[in-house]
Structure 1
Amino acid sequence: MQDTPKKSRKCAEELVLLSESPYDTPNPFKALSDPEGLSAVGGDLKPERLIHLYQHGFFPWYSDPDPILWWHPLERCTLVPEHFHASRSLKKCIRHGEWTWRINNNFLQTIKTCSELRAQNEGTWISDEIIEAYSNLNRMGYAFSVEVYLNQKLAGGFYGVAMGNMFFGESMFSLLPNGSKVALWQFCQVANKLGIELIDCQVESDHLISLGAQMMSKEAFVANLQKYVTKPTSNAQLNQLASQNRTHLIEFKTD
């Protein structure tokens, strides 16, 4: 499914100052090379703009007091759900204890936990403004959180945005060993059933690569965007699961 990475076509670089229109769209192939992937500045985090720019592969990433910065990297870290790699130690971890999972059990808690844990370490871009913006997307049925529990204790999770047959991961956390890995593994199993073809992990990390993620060229990523975000959306099915999970914990097992 993943195309062979190709060298992205060269265009004159430009940094776009976004207008008031939520449909203002920078050219992803004109993103700066330094800092790599920076495409636009300004605008706002209203739902219309966020949805539009996600559909074109841009994501906001900035820290206060900087203005809103929009990125479209030269290469993208992506994960095909069926290619998730579960190590032997992860499988062993799953077999011990009662693991359960939910979708949107507590979106606000999940995004705040991601913010707080990052702030304690390398710093966080998940500001109050970001929390409010993605909480709005959650209420509209675009943003989702996944939480996993070990023996009824919150172990880890992540949040992101679903559009068409794609999921755009934003941030994850672990409160117990392997918490975020278990959350992503379970979501990949659900994603397969719902027809989600690709998870955008944005920026490469050793952690994600060890779980089966691969780097994809900008041209291949844009082609996949055009193919998948226009397909019948999986949001309705995810929202249906979320509604069920508010009253039913769903256990899962491994072979």
Structure 2
Amino acid sequence: MYYLSEDLFFPPVHLAHSSGIVGFGGDLSPERLQLAYNSGIFPWFEDGEPITWWSPNPRMVLFLDELIISKSMRNVLNRKLFRVTFNQNFREIISNCQNVKRDGQNGTWITNDMIEAYCKLNELGIAKSVEVWQDDELVGGLYGVDLGHIFCGESMFSLVSNASKVAFIALVNQLKNENYKLLDCQVYNSHLESLGCREIERDEFMNILRNHF
């Protein structure tokens, strides 16, 4: 296990523990976060724990052409029940992701320090959000880190049924239009799988991350 100092450094991801943990410590400065994401690494920890850096193997991703939109979801989209905006209310999106209740979880990994760190990334144009509105009320959305060829999704929320799916689909369509390689979803969950995401080997993910020209 690596314990990071103030130096801007991460060990190579192939040295990660079998759990996916790359190391502990360091800080959440914009410079370190940018280095982390460009190195295939992201922070994930709970309040009161040391900053923990991860690069899981396998990695959950969506190849954009593999997006699955169910018949019922197509009906929702065709009815135009929601309005979608991009990068208009980043702080409100990440705050809702922190506060929304999730099945099987007692709390959230999005600490107040994480919110401030990602809001700084948003000010730099690196972290971005998708907002979903219903009758001018924010009802869902997501945020993540934009690497220019890969979008690293961090978290999403819904206050009404299907709102987060609408955000996800809108993001994928935008990424396809801008010729992104894939959407990084980090770790497996069944909801993401239902949308077409799948696990790939970390080496394959790292090759895509590094070879983007």
TM over 0.5: yes
Q: Deviations over 1:61-97 (max 9, x none)?
A: 0012111000011100001222211000101112224
TM (normalized to structure 1)? 0.80
Give the AA of the match of 1:158.
L
1:147 aligns with 2:131: yes
1:16 aligns with 2:2: yes
What is the deviation of 1:162?
0.3
For residue 194 of structure 1, the aligned residue among 150, 168, 178 is 178
What is the deviation of 1:49?
0.6
1:216 aligns with 2:200: yes
**For structure 1, which runs of at least 5 residues remain unmatched after alignment?**
1-14, 232-255
For residue 166 of structure 1, the aligned residue among 150, 157, 163 is 150
Alpha-carbon RMSD: 1.4
Mapped partners of 2:188, 2:134: distance in 1: 28
Q: Which residue of 2 aligns with 1:99?
A: 82
Mapped partners of 1:57, 1:111: distance in 2: 21
Give the AA of the match of 1:181.
K
Give the AA of the match of 1:26.
P
Mapped partners of 2:209, 2:125: distance in 1: 19
1:178 aligns with 2:167: no
Contact 1:82 1:189 in 2 (8 A): no
Mapped partners of 1:44, 1:187: distance in 2: 29
Mapped partners of 2:148, 2:101: distance in 1: 29
Mapped partners of 1:153, 1:65: distance in 2: 33
1:59 aligns with 2:42: yes
Change (3 A) 1:54 1:32: same
TM (normalized to structure 2)? 0.95
Give the AA of the match of 1:30.
L
Percent identical pairs in the alignment equals: 39
Mapped partners of 2:71, 2:148: distance in 1: 33
Q: Which is worse superposed, 149-158 or 172-181?
A: 149-158
Mapped partners of 2:156, 2:24: distance in 1: 25
**For structure 2, which runs of at least 5 residues remain unmatched after alignment?**
none
Contact 2:62 2:185 in 1 (8 A): yes
Moved segments of 4+, more than 6 Å: none
Q: Which residue of 2 aligns with 1:114?
A: 97
- Report the count of equivalent residues: 212
Contact 2:88 2:129 in 1 (8 A): yes
For residue 61 of structure 2, the aligned residue among 59, 75, 78 is 78
Q: Which has the larger radius of gyration?
A: 1
1:133 aligns with 2:120: no
